[in-house]
């Protein structure tokens, strides 16, 4: 099997680590060749807090993916989330030395590199610089300035910032697990790539990815990402609450949540009761489902309200920024019964559960189309895209003298993330 167009996504989550190997089929859809999943030990709220355990979990997932696909995994695209992520809006401009020539990729890169020089808080690093819209010589709301004439080029940017140490720790885990780091992507962006349609992004949509340790938000409008946030709560705090509230062990709490949990307390009759085996010969515990869903409800409301605050921060209430396509829920936490109804009730926005089948081949395994795998699918798509860019950059070198193209062409392909990835790589190599 040729390995040229194969990419591997590695989703390092708080509850699970997924390694997914995928390639494009002849219709340009994603076919998954292998998937490996392992329980994530050593990650808390999206941040690595035990390197050794995380490396072990990554290796377990990778071994499983390699076994199902018979392909050796080398480089991976990894997602970054965690409570240290924040985003800000920033605008910047450059004055072009030669206004006789049309604006090209290099001008945009100069502008983007300028944003990269922004001074951040100590220990923070810019992860993404995403242009929103451009202005050329004062003419506003330009989506694509390439090919236009103009002297002053300015743009509004959505800048995503994260902690250097957290990013380096992830890099370290991957390297020690015997893999190479091909790219870093913000997890909400990866999930969005997997579950949202272009129409939704145009109309305006908020993607809420409810994971185990964090809930990620990405807001799109007019096809452009407008806002991102990571809220440091997810499905695990719900399990914790059930554990505390019902005095049972975590494994039982998790099962209760999945099998009988509901986000809407009115659903259960007062007399519905689940009996849970006691520990080591103790009497079984009886738990009323009404109480169970009250516990879940209280916590879910809290998570959704925090997300809704972020949606309002983006400006959803202004007419021009209205999110017509409403909310899409994804991630493992989105499978909670009646969650869609609760979210609609709290936010008043249309809601659906998002499955990562937007770009998947039609005959994909049913498991993979579960919201659990949204981030992993998005990371594979991201890795494939990155390869396509590199391929398209490297092609012209055969016909021409090799030096000039390498000077100009890769400008674009070496985006901000690639630079960040390289910085992480350099750091790791020098740290040994």
Task: Find the helix or strand (DSSP H, E) in which 98 lies.
Answer: none
Each residue of 262-298: pLDDT tens digit? 999 887 777 889 999 888 888 999 999 999 999 999 9
Each residue of 328-348: pLDDT tens digit? 999 999 999 999 999 999 999
Is the separation of the CB atoms in 230 and 218 below 8 Å?
A: no
Please state the domain extents for the chain: 197-354
Say whether pLDDT at 431 is over 70: no
Per-residue confidence (pLDDT) for residue 402, from 0 to 100: 37
Q: Tell me the CA end-to-end span of the chain in Å, nearest whole number.
A: 35
Per-residue pLDDT band at 174 (split at 50, 70, 90) = very high
Q: Pairing state of beta strands 327-330 and 351-353?
A: parallel
Whole-structure pTM value: 0.86
Q: Pairing state of beta strands 47-48 and 139-142?
A: unpaired
Say whether pLDDT at 299 is over 50: yes
**Dihedral of the CA atoms 37, 38, 43, 44 (nearest 10)?**
80
Closest CA to 230 of 16, 5, 46, 56: 46
- Please count the residues of the chain: 432
Is the separation of the CB atoms in 327 and 235 below 8 Å?
A: no
d(CA 363, CA 258): 27
Ranges of H-type helices in 123-249: 164-176, 187-195, 198-203, 235-246
d(CA 360, CA 368): 9
Pick the CATH number of 197-354 from 3.30.1360.120, 3.30.420.40, 3.40.190.10, 3.40.50.720: 3.30.420.40
Per-residue pLDDT band at 254 (split at 50, 70, 90) = very high
Per-residue confidence (pLDDT) for residue 392, from 0 to 100: 59
d(CA 183, CA 187): 12
Task: Find the helix or strand (DSSP H, E) in which 179 lies.
Answer: none
Each residue of 35-47: pLDDT tens digit? 999 999 999 988 9
Q: Is 31 helix (H, G, I), strand (E, B) or coil?
A: strand
């Amino acid at each position: 099997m040729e390995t040229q167009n194969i990419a591997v996504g590695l989703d390092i989550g708080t509850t699970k680590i997924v390694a997914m190997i995928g390639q494009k089929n002849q219709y340009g859809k994603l076919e998954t060749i292998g998937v490996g999943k392992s329980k994530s030990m050593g990650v808390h709220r999206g941040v690595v807090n035990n390197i050794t355990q995380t490396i072990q979990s990554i290796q377990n997932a990778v071994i499983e993916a390699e076994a199902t696909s018979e392909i050796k995994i080398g480089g991976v695209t990894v997602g970054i989330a965690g409570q240290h992520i924040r985003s800000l809006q920033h605008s910047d401009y450059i004055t072009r030395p030669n206004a006789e020539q049309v604006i090209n990729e290099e001008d945009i890169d100069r502008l983007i590199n300028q944003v990269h020089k922004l001074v951040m808080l100590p220990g923070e690093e810019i992860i993404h610089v995403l242009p929103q819209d451009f202005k050329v010589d004062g003419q506003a709301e330009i989506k694509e300035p390439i090919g236009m004439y103009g002297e002053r080029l300015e743009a509004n940017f959505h800048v995503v910032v994260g902690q250097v140490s957290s990013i380096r720790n992830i890099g370290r885990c991957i390297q020690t697990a015997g893999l190479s780091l091909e790219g870093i992507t913000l997890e909400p962006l990866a999930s969005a790539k997997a579950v949202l349609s272009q129409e939704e992004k145009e109309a305006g949509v908020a993607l809420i990815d409810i994971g185990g340790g964090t809930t990620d938000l990405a807001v799109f409008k007019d096809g452009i990402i407008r806002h991102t946030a990571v809220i440091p709560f997810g499905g695990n705090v719900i399990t914790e609450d059930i554990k505390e509230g019902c005095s049972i062990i975590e494994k039982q709490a998790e099962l209760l949540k999945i099998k009988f949990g509901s986000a809407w307390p009115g659903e259960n009759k007062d007399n519905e009761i689940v009996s849970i085996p006691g520990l080591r010969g103790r009497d079984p515990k009886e738990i009323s489902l009404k109480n169970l869903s009250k516990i879940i409800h209280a916590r879910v409301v809290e998570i959704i309200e925090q997300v809704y605050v972020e949606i309002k921060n983006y400006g959803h209430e202004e007419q021009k920024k209205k999110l017509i396509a409403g909310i899409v829920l994804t991630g493992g936490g989105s499978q909670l019964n009646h969650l869609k109804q609760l979210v609609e009730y709290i936010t008043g926005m249309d809601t659906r559960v998002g499955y990562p089948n937007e770009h998947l081949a039609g005959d994909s395994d049913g498991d993979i189309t579960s919201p659990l795998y949204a981030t992993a699918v998005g990371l594979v798509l991201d890795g494939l895209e990155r390869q396509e860019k590199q391929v398209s950059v490297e092609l012209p070198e055969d016909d021409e003298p090799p030096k000039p193209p390498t000077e100009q062409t890769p400008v674009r392909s070496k985006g901000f993330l690639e630079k960040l990835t390289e910085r992480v790589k350099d750091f790791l190599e020098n740290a040994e």
